[in-house]
A and B are shown apart, each in its own frame.
Chain A
Amino acid sequence: MEDWRKNKGAFAIFLGPASFWLLLFFVIPLILVWVYSFGERGPQGQTYLALSFENYLRAIEPIHLGIMLKSIWIGAISTAVCLVVGFPVAMGIAFAPSRWKNPLLLIVVLPFFTNLLIRTYAWIAVLRTRGFLNFGLEWVHEKANWLFALAGFPAALGEFVPLELLYNQYAVVIGLVYVHLPFLILPLYATLEKLDRSYLEASLDLGAGQWRTFFSVLVPLVMPGIVSGALLVFILSMGNFLVPDLLGGTDSLMIGNLIAREYGAARDWPFGSALSFMIMYPVFIFFVINAMVARYRTRRRAEV
């Protein structure tokens, strides 16, 4: 990393346009809702400006903290599953012949060109009691039963009972993983693609097995991609509200749903803003601490 003063012109050219855009079209609007988060709700849902911490106090009531913890938990599980499903895909694309890479990437992203709502509806058609997955299972069950009957055990498997796959937390996780896969695959692909294969070859040549090479050479090398992708998936899953709404049962309220309701039906923009900022503050602090640690480390290194 170089100091910005070394080349102020290039620094300004790279950082300037995005900073300008984000300042004007994100930070200023953000400050407006930040001010709202200290406000009060009017009788018809107007937003009265005030200096009240009531919204924040309300946000840390046990019931709201519980919802937040649950969202973190669901988000973490979704991220883990996403990693398991997405890693092979990203690796497959990154190690494909170069002229196949971009088309493959497009094929992976293509399902996401259809609308989120339509895709989620399609999952309902797949997972419901009389859905395609259960139809498939029923077919297998029937054939298996038939085979058992041939072998002299009629009705060994009994009647087919369709699985209740929809309207529970599993369905929510499946939906969240599906919706957020590209956010894992794309950064991961971008990191894997540049991987210097001689490291892997060296590891294999030195006698490490495929798995050992994978976990102690490949994974550490692509850690930045894993971290970025996992972070994106985690944050987006945690805040999603459509998937829990459509695929979840009666207990799948997540923080995103609550915030959407505060801005919507409850018309409590101040409380909605306070809840939103309760999510944003930790992330902000994370980045600040992260930068402080990095600076401390470089300074230590310089001293040594």
Chain B
Amino acid sequence: MSTLPARSMRRRRVRGTNPLEYLKRPWMQLTLLASFVFLYFPIVTLIAFSFNDSRRNITWRGFTWKYYEKAFNNASLHDAFVNSMIVAGTSTLVSTALGAMLGLALYRYRFPWKGTYEGVAHLPIVIPEICMGVAMLVFFNAINMDLSLITITVSHIAFTIPFVAVVIRARMAGFDVSLEEASHDLGASEWQTFWHITFPYMVPGLVAGALMAFVLSLDDFVITFFTAGVGSTTFPIKIYSMLRFSVTPEVNAASTVLIVITLSLTLIAMIMQSRWAKGRQE
């Protein structure tokens, strides 16, 4: 028994790296690289096709910028894009807040009929999209609510809440409750404890949940279609409608622009953050 620590010490010295710095291990780097290739291979092809001088994304016919020009001048594409962003942005904000609270409550409290409650609250994940789309359409008609961006957003919030809750709950599992108790013992109010102890702990879960809600909302076609009214065509509706004829490279161009914008914003944010961190260190 007594030799064990010594052996691990030796091992650590031999490798020269901290055993927990997985990112520095070649096998990890290789797997990560493979995963990123898998993630980005199709994206690279779709970007490549946005420069293809053909009306369809099949064979390479030479380089052109024309689909970017077309995409920029295409008012309906523009509208669809803006609509999608409005819906995805709003629903992500609301569903992250509501979903986080739900996840926290399910993690923390014991209450009567909890099993039934959980069963129902998780159904939006399980329900086939088209079934939910039809249900929402019938419901909005029954209560005489005009279909619009609002009805789309409301439905998106409803079906993304449980996704956020699942992430938050997974995050909270194993949370050290004694931290909260200590805070209470030191005289902090319920609210103060939440803001200073529980909330900071939740943040990575919130980020993950919000990204999930955003992707779900941005990509949703079926529920969006059924809850869309006059003038609320979103990006997915636009693309699915193109399917009957041909999905044009304009869509690839628009997608590429979105990727480039997001990437540059991320880079800018990272640079600013590192400068800010440096400034603080000095």
Contact = CB atoms under 8 A, between A and B. Distances in A.
Complex: A in contact with B (CB within 8 Å): yes
Interface of A: 1-4, 7, 10-11, 13-15, 17-19, 21-22, 25-30, 32-33, 85-86, 88-89, 91-92, 95-96, 99, 101-103, 105-119, 121-123, 125-126, 132, 178, 181-183, 186-187, 189-191, 193-194, 197, 200-201, 204-207, 210, 221, 224-225, 227-229, 231-232, 235-236, 239, 256, 259-260, 263-264, 269, 272-273, 275-276, 279-280, 283-292, 295, 298
B245 interface: no
A187 B167 contact: yes
B138 A109 contact: no
Interface string B3-25: 01101100000000001111100
A107 B170 contact: no
A15 B109 contact: yes
A122 B190 contact: no
A279 B126 CA distance: 7
A198 B26 CA distance: 23
Contacts of B4: 205-207
Given A85-B35, A92-B32, A106-B266, A25 B119 contact: no
A207 B204 contact: no
Contacts of A125: 42, 45-46, 49, 57-58
Contact of A190 (B123, B167, B273): B167
B131 A25 contact: no
B65 interface: no
Contacts of B117: 19
A117 B130 contact: no
B212 interface: yes
A181 B158 CA distance: 22
Q: Which interface residue of A17, A91, A102, A193 has the most chain B CB atoms within 10 A?
A: A102
11 contacts: A4-B109, A18-B98, A88-B35, A116-B236, A125-B57, A189-B208, A190-B171, A236-B125, A275-B128, A288-B115, A291-B114
Contact of A228 (B5, B109, B167): B167
Shortest 3 CB-CB distances between A and B: which pairs? A291-B115, A287-B119, A122-B42
Given A1-B109, A99-B270, A284-B123, A191 B262 contact: no
A286 B119 CA distance: 8
A225 B125 contact: no
A15 B207 contact: no
Given A86-B35, A206-B8, 6 more contacts: A7-B190, A15-B102, A105-B208, A113-B259, A194-B174, A291-B118
A32 B102 CA distance: 24
A14 B170 contact: no
A11 B136 CA distance: 29
Nearest to B201: A194
Given A11-B111, A123-B42, A178-B42, A33 B134 contact: yes
A275 to B, nearest CB: 8
B42 A119 contact: yes
A114 B255 contact: yes
B208 A85 contact: no
Contacts of B259: 110, 113-114
A200 B158 contact: no
Contacts of B136: 25, 29
Nearest to A10: B190
Given A92-B23, A115-B236, A186 B124 contact: no
B186 interface: no
A114 B253 CA distance: 11
B19 to A, nearest CB: 5
Given A99-B270, A103-B270, A232-B125, A17 B134 contact: no
A58 to B, nearest CB: 16
Contacts of B35: 85-86, 88-89
A60 B109 CA distance: 38
A40 to B, nearest CB: 16
A30 B102 contact: no
Contacts of A33: 131, 134-135, 138
B218 interface: yes
Given A1-B108, A29-B135, A105-B207, A18 B99 contact: yes
A228 B134 CA distance: 27
Contacts of B98: 17-18, 21
B178 interface: no
A108 B247 contact: no
Interface in B146-181: 154-155, 157-159, 161, 163, 165-171, 173-175
Interface string B92-107: 0000011101101101
Contacts of A225: 170-171, 173
B75 interface: no
Contacts of A194: 171, 174-175, 201, 204
A27 B124 CA distance: 9
A107 B108 contact: no
Nearest to B226: A263
B204 A187 contact: no
